[in-house]
Amino acid sequence: MNSAKQIEKRLTQALLHDGEMDYGLYGYELEEQTEKMRASLVEDRDEYVFAITENTGHVAMMLFEATGAEYINEDARERLKTLWPDDAYDYNLKLLIPTLAAQLNSEIIPFTGVKIAPEGLTADKMGQSA
């Protein structure tokens, strides 16, 4: 059985160090999540949603955009890098990976929906009411 720390190391290798991803694992664990992810994307009005899984030392990923575009594995990772430009990709994943690993260790396949703040909206303005 994998520990959360082992899963965390594999996710870090695949996501932050451009490690190899496994298409077979995508087909085995993520492809069946497609409809649930699309429904969540629409219901939550997200710009995009992504899921990452790990099993037997392999990692797989998928990403769907509100536009209908979909990406698998390395293509999903590269697309997420463009959606989270500059240092945001590394920063966000360093925050997310421990939680993702804990969920995967508990046999939960996590998926994350993302909304994009309107231009000019800053963190200090988000909590203020008009």
Count: domains in the chain? 1
Asked whether residue 119 is domain-assigned, the answer is no
Residue 110 belongs to what domain range? 4-114
Q: Tens digit of pLDDT for each residue in 94-119?
A: 999 999 999 999 999 988 888 876 65
Instruction: State pLDDT tens for residues 28-78.
Output: 999 988 899 999 999 999 999 999 999 989 999 999 999 999 999 999 999
pTM listed for this prediction:
0.84
What DSSP assignment string belongs to 59-127?
Answer: EEEEEEETTS-EEETHHHHHHHHHHSTTTHHHHHHHHHHHHHHHHHHTT---EEEE--PPTT--HHHHT
Note whether residue 120 is domain-resident.
Answer: no
Asked if residue 128 is part of any domain, the answer here is no
